Amino acid sequence: MHLLVPGDVDDPLRPSGGNAYDRRIRDGLRRTGRPVHQVTLPGDWPEPGPASCARLARELAALPDGATVLLDGLVACAVPEVLVPEAARLDVVVLVHLPLGEEPGAPAGLPEREGPVLRAARAVIATSPWTADRLAGRHRLDPAAVHVAVPGTAPAEIAPGTDGAGSLLSVGSLGPTKGHDLLVDALTAVREHDWRCRIVGPERRSPGFGAALRRTLGERGLERRIILAGPRSGAALDAEYAVADLLVAPSRVESYGMVVTEALARGIPVLAGRTGGLPDALGEAAVPELLVPTGDPAGLTTALRRWLTDPGLRQRARELALARRDTLRGWDLAVAEVDAALAGTRPAALR
């Protein structure tokens, strides 16, 4: 099987849920005995330049007829002129983390380019039921060709946290999609309370956003209470979770939200936007007072104030997070679901 992924898939300075998912699936398939040949494709996907498109076309043209090719949707979905002709001779499967065009500020026309690619593919793998429904409805896909492989979660130690309330953590690439501007506005409105917040994630995708956010923090005198910590992975990311009392995920859109289940695996409660697959990721750990309307800074402010002032709410949220910890899926099931989609079957548990 040939796996075609963005060029930064293994770059520790550009961690993302999509990259982590691709690596987990790649390594898991190899452990099952399936040979996986990875091809990394540099470029500003899903807006590649001519050189990136030409590189993708060459890689596909070099594959023998009938070869099974699993492509990350960032690489595949915006270039129907490259993918659709090759789909006639290759066994093409496309893995979609987030439908194109969903992120704020996305260029116009991306969904229209995505449709022909997905209809030409033999199968589509979505990383959440929300994404699967979105893709099938938008592009008139055959439901039998759309598979769901929800991310797994690695086991983790319970996070001790700090005082149980005031240490807030937000994890994700800095930018409007993850709602960090909404978070700063909401925290400004509750500045009279005792809290500190660390925003962990790369900002190379939206450097202008990060610069603007830093200016805002300076103007509001919050640069010592809200820390833009940059990217973290491995043990460094584990250390961030270990001192968190609450994960805040104010995303404007989210296919699933792996950081949510990473927090729950450590017993950390979550305050999140009611968008995309986030409610599914929360599952039974969803606390109504901590699940806010998408893109609503007032709702986010209210939820943060409740968290900071209501010990009973914090205790209930912590108990639900600890209970959810025991029900999280492992990566072995996600790998089995992807493997079944590649084979043209469904896992026995899903039949």
pLDDT, tens digit, for every residue of 103-115? 988 888 899 999 9
Residues listed for the chain:
351
pLDDT at 11 over 70: yes
Q: In this structure, are 341 and 297 located in the same domain?
A: no
Q: Are 177 and 227 part of one and the same domain? A: yes
145 and 73 both lie in a single domain: yes
Q: What are phi and psi of 188, to 5 degrees?
A: -60, -40
Mean pLDDT, rounded, of the chain: 94
Both 183 and 318 in one domain: the answer is yes
Q: What is the CATH number of the domain that holds 11?
A: 3.40.50.2000
- In-domain check, residue 158: no
* pTM of the shown model: 0.93
pLDDT at 345: 64
277 and 128 inside one domain: no
Q: State the pLDDT at residue 38.
A: 97
The pLDDT tens digits of the residues spanning 44-93 come to 999 899 999 999 999 999 999 999 999 999 999 999 999 999 999 999 99
Q: Are residues 201 and 312 in the same domain?
A: yes
Is residue 272 assigned to a domain?
A: yes
- pLDDT band with cut points at 50, 70 and 90 for residue 348: very low
**pLDDT at res. 107:** 85
pLDDT digits 0-9 by tens, 324-337: 999 999 999 999 99
DSSP string, 112-166: HHHHHHHHHSSEEEESSHHHHHHHHHHHT--GGGEEE--------PPP--SSSSS
Q: Are residues 242 and 144 in the same domain?
A: no
| Residue 311 located in a structural domain | yes
Residues 199 and 117 in one domain: no
Show the domain range for 135.
2-152+329-350
Q: Residue 159 in contact with residue 192, Cβ under 8 Å? A: no
Query: What are the pLDDT digits (tens) for 179-197?
Result: 999 999 999 999 999 999 9
In a domain, 160, yes or no: no
Do 144 and 24 lie in a common domain? yes
Please say whether the beta carbons of 150 and 127 come within 8 A.
Answer: yes
Q: Has residue 241 been placed in a domain?
A: yes
Q: Is 320 in the same domain as 334?
A: no
**pLDDT tens digit string along 280-314?**
999 999 999 999 999 899 999 999 999 999 999 99
Q: What is the pLDDT of residue 349?
A: 43
- Is residue 314 domain-shared with residue 291, that is, in the same domain? yes
Backbone torsions φ then ψ of 343, nearest 5 degrees? -85, -10
CA angle centred on 318, ends 314 and 319, rounded to 5°? 120
345 in a domain, yes or no? yes
What proportion of the chain, given as a percentage, has pLDDT over 90?
A: 90
Asked, for residue 111, whether it belongs to a domain, the answer is yes
pLDDT of residue 346: 52
What total of structural domains would you count in the chain?
2
Do both 48 and 187 map to the same domain? no
23 inside domain: yes
Q: Looking at residue 15, what is its pLDDT?
A: 84
Q: Helices 80-87 and 50-61, interaxial angle, to 10°?
A: 10
Give pLDDT, residue 96.
98
